[in-house]
Copies of this chain bind each other. A is one copy, B any other.
């Protein structure tokens, strides 16, 4: 549908996962269908064994003089925003089959918040005329 929000979630740091979760929750709260495709380091972050770990911050945070989060990156509630998005509306989280293969991850390793696996073609088809955001 035209009002679908589609996210290619590639990055695996806590700050970018938070930015993605906030967009997903915001769109879900507005009644928009949300499709998330997990690739590479986001896929890695959604492994059950890794999802609660400290995933650090983006490279941009390293420059001297940058304001650091007073509560640290562990305090960034990205997983909670994704859980909230699922409660608020219609959101699917799909693991990219190509990234699973490149990283040697099997679906059974993923956290149960991930709904299944799929490829880029079905993602683009579901995105339809709606917005696609790469994070």
Using a CB–CB distance below 8 Å, which chain A residues touch chain B?
Answer: 2-3, 5, 8, 10-13, 15-16, 18-19, 22-23, 25-27, 29-30, 39-41, 44, 47, 50, 53, 55-56, 58-61, 63, 65-71, 75-76, 98, 102-105, 119-121, 123-125, 127, 129, 131-135
Assembly CA distance A15 to B15 (angstroms): 19
Contact A134 B131 (CB under 8 A): no
- Number of this chain's copies in the assembly equals 3
Cβ of A119: which chain B residues have Cβ within 8 Å of it? Answer: 26
Contact B135 A131 (CB under 8 A): no
Q: Chain A interface secondary structure, helix, strand, loop or mixed?
A: mixed
Task: Decide: A13 near B135, CB < 8 A? Known: A65-B50, A69-B102.
Answer: no
